[in-house]
Amino acid sequence: MLTYIDGAPIVHGTAAAVVRERRDRRMHTWHSRIEHRVYAPRDHLPPGIWERLAPLHPVDSSAHESDEPTPSRHPLGTLERAVHLVQGHREELEQRLAERWCDHECRPLFVDGGISGSDRVARNSCVVGVVKSHRTLYAVDDALDVVLRLAAGERTSVFLLEPKRRTAVASWYLRLRDATGRDPTFGLVRVEVARDPDADLSARADEVSRWLLAEGSPLSLPDSRWDRMAYGIRDSEEFLKAIT
């Protein structure tokens, strides 16, 4: 956060992404990106302020698509919009790095989150996306019971995800750790891989699940998300914190 001008928040955002690779049991940086942007609500600024910000190449945090409602002028709403734009910028950097990996490597790539946002990434068989948050559960009725009752090391059957404006992927739920007596999503992740019509997706799910279960050691403590967090992802987060 930089400042407010007549109630309009001016935000400095930093987005960063990294690919870390394991060599001789040690983590090394394959490639990383850091970018900075300034976010300002052009429609809510006094005359002349946007022009003064022009050398910083600001991003308009009040912009919206023609079919979307006009964003609120409330300072907290505008600030929230800027935060979402920073998150989108981070996702953009992550996708660019994943695409670069796909262009140069054939080794497996563990992506923290979904992979359907980039067609090149979502169609590459070396990429595995792991979703740790479950605000949306892709199961209802009996299928939801199956997901929530998974024991450690168990997975659901593979299903197809076809999100709007994104690439379709194959997905399944996997329980990494025993959730007895805990929150029903404890140790639960959702996995995404390329939807290859010629591949045996059940065998692929078994292979990837074994790999993800093995990635659970060592534990990513003291992170509060240790039950779903792979050590390599925690290492990447700690690396980015150190350089931003």
Cα angle 140, 146, 149; round to 5: 125
Residue 90 shares a structural domain with residue 123 = no
User: How confident is the model at residue 121, as a pLDDT?
Assistant: 97
Residue 182 shares a structural domain with residue 224 = yes
| 68-90: pLDDT as tens digits | 666 678 888 899 999 999 999 99
Residue 97 shares a structural domain with residue 2 = yes
Residue 121 shares a structural domain with residue 98 = no
Residue 125 shares a structural domain with residue 215 = yes
Average pLDDT, the chain: 93
| 84-118: pLDDT as tens digits | 999 999 999 999 999 999 999 999 999 999 999 99
Tally the domains of the chain: 2
User: pLDDT confidence of 66, banded at 50, 70, 90?
Assistant: low
Cα angle 136, 139, 144; round to 5: 110
Residue 230 shares a structural domain with residue 119 = yes
Average pLDDT of the segment spanning 33-52:
94
- Domain end marker among 90, 105, 120: 105
User: How confident is the model at residue 164, as a pLDDT?
Assistant: 86
- Domain end marker among 53, 77, 105: 105
73 or 8, higher pLDDT:
8
Peptide bond preceding 222: is omega within 30 degrees of 0, i.e. cis? yes
User: How confident is the model at residue 69, as a pLDDT?
Assistant: 66
Structure tokens at 60: 């308009």
| 116-172: pLDDT as tens digits | 999 999 999 999 999 999 999 999 899 999 999 999 999 999 999 998 889 999 999
- Domain end marker among 55, 84, 105: 105
Report percent pLDDT > 70 for the chain.
97
Residue 82 shares a structural domain with residue 121 = no
pTM: 0.87
Residue 212: give the domain boundaries: 107-244
Residue 216 shares a structural domain with residue 119 = yes
H or E element in which residue 87 lies: helix 75-104
Whole-number Å distance between alpha carbons of 177 and 162: 28
Structure tokens at 95: 């996708």
Q: 212 Cβ partners below 8 Å, 6+ apart?
A: 128, 130, 174, 176, 189, 191, 230
| 181-221: pLDDT as tens digits | 999 999 999 999 999 888 899 999 999 999 999 998 888 88
Q: Is the pLDDT of residue 67 over 70?
A: no
Residue 99 shares a structural domain with residue 8 = yes
Q: Is the pLDDT of residue 224 over 90?
A: no
Q: 222 Cβ partners below 8 Å, 6+ apart?
A: none
Residue 51 shares a structural domain with residue 168 = no
Residue 215 shares a structural domain with residue 141 = yes
Residue 147 shares a structural domain with residue 207 = yes
